[in-house]
Amino acid sequence: KPAQISTLSQPVATTGARQTELAQQYFTRVSERLRHKQRAVTNWDYEHLLLQEFPSVYKVKCLNNFFVNRAIADDKGKFIPGHLSLVLIPDLRNQTAAETIPLKPRVTYKQLIDAEKYLSDYSAPQVQVHAVNAAFDVVKVKCTVKFRTGLDNGSQVKKLNADLIAYLAPWTVNTSVDISFQVKIYASSLLDFIDKRNYVDYVTGFDMYCNDSVLPLVETLASTPFSIMVSAPKHDISYIET
């Protein structure tokens, strides 16, 4: 140990670093290598080649014959033969306690470009690879709540809003939770969730909206094949005084 150095600390995650490979991880890597043979042919090949090369990526979804133009905001993509889009989700476990876990996790633009360059070396020359971030469908709740007697209404509204965010986007409170594409949210499930909070007496006037929907929904509908359901940062919650 150098005498000039007293302590070492790492306040933020290292970019592009990877931990020491464990025995189980070694067997997994070798098994995957024997399957894809370091060449991208199937959707599975593209996904696992990318996950192996970029440890900061948590999940990849491959959409073959599908083109998503990341230069256009909110592009929903379209079917085009010969194009292949890869949707990347960052590994939130790299976040430190001082960092805020985002409702809409995205990888950097540089990581998208690096992913395209890397996969172009292992795919067929006629395939055009595109790396993009996921799309996000925002779910918002509007309701009126009667809280339990003796509780402060203002603080309970904030607590219910935080609980709804944790329910709709659980990765914001537990980074080990899986982030899934095209998950349906039912209005009845959300209503039941609110009604079962121990600080809630009853709920009335409940409605659920998604994105820019004008009419309340019974269930959410994914706007794209690469959509993730997330919570609105602030729900429309009012309370009954008496």
pLDDT less than 50: residues of the chain? none
- Residue 32 gets the label, from left (phi > 0), alpha (psi -120 to 50) or beta, of alpha
What pLDDT is recorded for position 95? 64
Cα–Cα distance measured from residue 132 to residue 40, given in angstroms and rounded to the nearest whole number = 18
What pLDDT is recorded for position 23? 93
Q: The dihedral of CA 200, 205, 209, 212: what is its sign? A: negative
User: Which tokens is 139 given?
Assistant: 């779910």
Listed residue (53, 176, 193) closest to 118, CA to CA: 53
According to DSSP, the residues that pair with 83 across neighbouring strands are 128
Cα–Cα distance measured from residue 147 to residue 201, given in angstroms and rounded to the nearest whole number = 5
